[in-house]
Amino acid sequence: MPEVIVYAVEGRTPEQKKMLMQKITTAVHESFGTQPDRIVVQIVEAKADNKTRGGVLYSER
């Protein structure tokens, strides 16, 4: 059972997240041959003030 975890800064709509999870499921199904109902996709969201890139908070970008 493949499991894909996506880490992202919060702010996407539920529709955007659903679309991403559906496309990842399709890609894993096509690449691995795993049945879609056996594929787990999870989005882990971080607050923009809890994540940095190059030492700069995402909330300050």
Q: Which residues are tagged catalytic?
A: 2
Chain Cα centroid distance, residue 5? 6
Q: Which residues of 1-61 form beta strands (DSSP E)?
A: 3-9, 40-46, 52-53, 56-57
